[in-house]
Structure 1
Amino acid sequence: MGDDPIALAEHNNIRAIRRSLSAITCLPVAQVRYLEHEADRLEEALEGVPFALDPGLIQGDPQHRNALHTADGTAVLCDWDTIAQGQPEWDLVTIEVHCRRFGYGEAHYQAFVDAYGLDIRESAGYSVLRGIRELRMVTTNTRKVRYAPESLSEIQRRVDGLRRRDEQLRWSIL
């Protein structure tokens, strides 16, 4: 890493979740406590996750809205404000969550898996990574409700879905 032209932060979803949790003002205390307990539970479980891929440069939020498409259909990632050093599995689980939660569908996700060559759902730590990524998506959007108050009902629906462990609940894009 000494030859890197710039120093990048280490990717840390748990730190980002805790930062968001400390800024949430729109949810009842009981819901915030639930999210805090989930963060604790998932942080502990993360310690046992075996990462199969070598760490490296990750985008941090590779999703459909963070891709531009060229005339020939090639996707180019943009919105690099979350670039970091980390495990590629974090980017892979983000893509899976977006396909499942936002209705892009199994065929869309499978096309990605076929092109990339790895299905994160088959990884030993998938459920933990998925849980952390979904919790980060919920807490980040919850922290931002003061700028988009109309999103509160969707946030509450997502929190209720997490409490019920409803892994198939479709989310609306915020």
Structure 2
Amino acid sequence: MTVPVVIGGFAESEVHSVLEEACRRIGVDPVGAEMLRGHTNAVFRLKGAGAVAKIARAGTPVADVQRTVRLVQWLSSQDFPTVELLPVEQPVLVGEHAITFWQYLPQPADPVPAALLAEPLRTLHRLSPPPFDVRTLDTVGAIRRSLAAITGLPPADLSFLAQRLDHLESALAEVRYAVRPGLLQGDPQHRNALHHGGSAVLCDWDTACFGPPELDCVTVEIHCRRFGYGRAHYEQFAERYGFDVTGWSGYGVLRDLRELRMITTNAKRAAAGTSTLGEVVSRVEGLRRDRHDLRWNIL
């Protein structure tokens, strides 16, 4: 059976139709658009406009994208190192779909090293709260919603993941944080930052929230360990940030919760017969065997 091509939750023909209409609305040329990412959102480089178009994943509430736009505009006003939105009214709405347009920054072949994430993250975590509401971190709730939407895993795996979440939720109640709560990027990692001169700017603010900075630090550590960057990458980050989350008493709980969220988020999008589902199954089996060293493949 041929598995249909799905980009950002859209059929391939639909996503290109949405992109073309959004570009027409702001007067840029979509000809030659190059897809940069398609697993979560649909992200395209528009070579002629020096821009990037990001089509929110199918089913994403417009209000979520509007919230992201407001936050990024505020961060820019604070001279925070973020990728800039194009100076047009955003988001652009095509039917129920929200599209944002961003400055394109040419990138070298190598991704941003973890060390360069330290300064912008530390700055972000210490910012005064913006003059509008920012959603509060709810990792447990997000995982429960993902579990309810998963169709590709067998009941035994779903039961295992649900029981693991129940255990971690109880353990989370006992965690005592070491760093003052602040604004979080939500998914800081090598691919959610871009080289800019000799430093880095953050991008992809869809999961930004208010909560414990330890979670952002744990996320960096997980990406270094799980995706082949290595311990040295993480240690350089921790040294520059000024805090080693792996030496903190709550590390194991936040690590396991963050990894569970990464697995369940991908699982709810994984269709039968796809490489994504195969990767999810491998990760779940790794959890069963307590394989914290198991290498994961990027999805």
State the TM-score, normalizing by the size of structure 2.
Answer: 0.56
Alignment counterpart, residue 52 of structure 1, candidates 163, 173, 178: 178
Work out the CA distance in 1 between the residues paired with 2:191 and 2:268.
20
Which one has the bigger strand percentage? 2
Q: Paired residue for 2:288?
A: 163
Q: Does 1:126 align with 2:245?
A: no
Work out the CA distance in 1 between the residues paired with 2:290 and 2:130.
41
Q: Paired residue for 1:109?
A: 234
Work out the CA distance in 2 between the residues paired with 1:137 and 1:104.
18
Deviation at 1:106, TM superposition (A): 1.0
**Paired letter, 1:37:** Q
**Paired letter, 1:83:** A
Q: Paired residue for 2:268?
A: 143
Work out the CA distance in 1 between the residues paired with 2:279 and 2:228.
15
Summarize deviations over 1:98-138 as a string: whole Å, max 9, x none.
00000111111111011001110001011000000000000
Q: Which runs of 5+ in 2 are unaligned?
A: 1-128
Asked whether the equivalents of residues 271 and 277 of structure 2 are also in contact (C-alpha less than 8 Å), the reply is no
Summarize deviations over 1:2-41 as a string: whole Å, max 9, x none.
x742211101111110010000000000000000001000
Summarize deviations over 1:46-76 as a string: whole Å, max 9, x none.
000110110010000001110011122x111
Work out the CA distance in 1 between the residues paired with 2:237 and 2:260.
23
Q: Paired residue for 2:46?
A: none
Work out the CA distance in 1 between the residues paired with 2:262 and 2:273.
15
Work out the CA distance in 2 between the residues paired with 1:48 and 1:107.
30
Q: Does 1:25 align with 2:172?
A: no
CA RMSD of aligned residues (A): 1.4
Are residues 122 and 40 of structure 1, via their aligned partners in 2, closer, same or farther at CA, if it must alter by over 3 Å?
same
Q: Paired residue for 1:15?
A: 141
Q: Does 1:34 align with 2:164?
A: no
1:85-96 aligned within 5 A: 85-96=210-221
Which one has the bigger helix percentage? 1
3-state SS of 2:271 partner:
helix
Q: Paired residue for 1:78?
A: 203
Deviation at 1:148, TM superposition (A): 8.8
**Paired letter, 1:164:** R
4+ residue runs over 4 A deviation: none
3-state SS of 2:153 partner:
coil
Query: For the pair shown, which has the larger CA radius of gyration, 1 or 2?
Result: 2
Work out the CA distance in 1 between the residues paired with 2:227 and 2:141.
25
Q: Which runs of 5+ in 1 are unaligned?
A: none
Deviation at 1:149, TM superposition (A): 2.5
* Structure with bigger RCO (C-alpha 8 Å, 6+ apart): 1
Are residues 56 and 148 of structure 1, via their aligned partners in 2, closer, same or farther at CA, if it must alter by over 3 Å?
farther
Work out the CA distance in 1 between the residues paired with 2:294 and 2:218.
16
Q: Paired residue for 1:99?
A: 224
